[in-house]
Structure 1
């Protein structure tokens, strides 16, 4: 029998993996990475220090959710549906 993982841990786990996918997409697309860094006000050192933080993870998910072209590109390249992505975003932002 599989152990039951609490719903909040599942949501956090999916947010972490989704943020990792977002960061991976940006790492493969330097122009998009630069646009994200400018949007977030991060320099390369600040970005390095933020990797793995929940603040950056939520910021990445918010950024992709608000930018349809890169959201769709990420989804197409990672096998995540836009609906799955937005469900995670909505769990992080229940009030919209």
Structure 2
């Protein structure tokens, strides 16, 4: 998977990285689906949606272990990830 340009990290590209990580880690994918209330059909239908993108970013932001693993795999600083999350959640 192509890693996005860090200077212009956008929610959609970050969510794509998150989904790629989950696709490679089935146990985490199942955990995310339970967290977000998706079954397999609903997850497929939501692909590419803003709602799913935001949910993926929220899920990773709330789980330090997978956040750090994703960032290490994607050569991304956790601070860069959290900047995107903060833009989506300005109230924190």
Do both proteins adopt the same fold according to a TM-score greater than 0.5, normalized to the shorter chain? yes
Deviations 1:35-91 (A, max 9, x none): 000111110000000000000000000000000000000000001110000000000
In the alignment, what sits opposite 1:36?
32
Equivalent residue number for residue 78 of structure 1: 74
Q: 1:26 aligns with which of 22, 45, 49?
A: 22
User: Which runs of at least 4 in structure 1 moved beyond 2 Å after TM superposition?
Assistant: none
Corresponding residue for residue 5 of structure 2: none
Q: Structure 1: which 5+ runs fail to align?
A: 1-9
TM-score (norm 2): 0.90
Partner of 1:68: 64
TM-score by length of 1: 0.86
Instruction: Please provide the CA RMSD for this pair.
Output: 1.0
C-alpha distance in 1 between matches for 2:71 and 2:35? 21
The alignment of Structure 1 onto Structure 2 pairs a total of residues equal to: 85
In the alignment, which residue of structure 2 is the partner of 1:15?
A: 11
Larger radius of gyration: 1
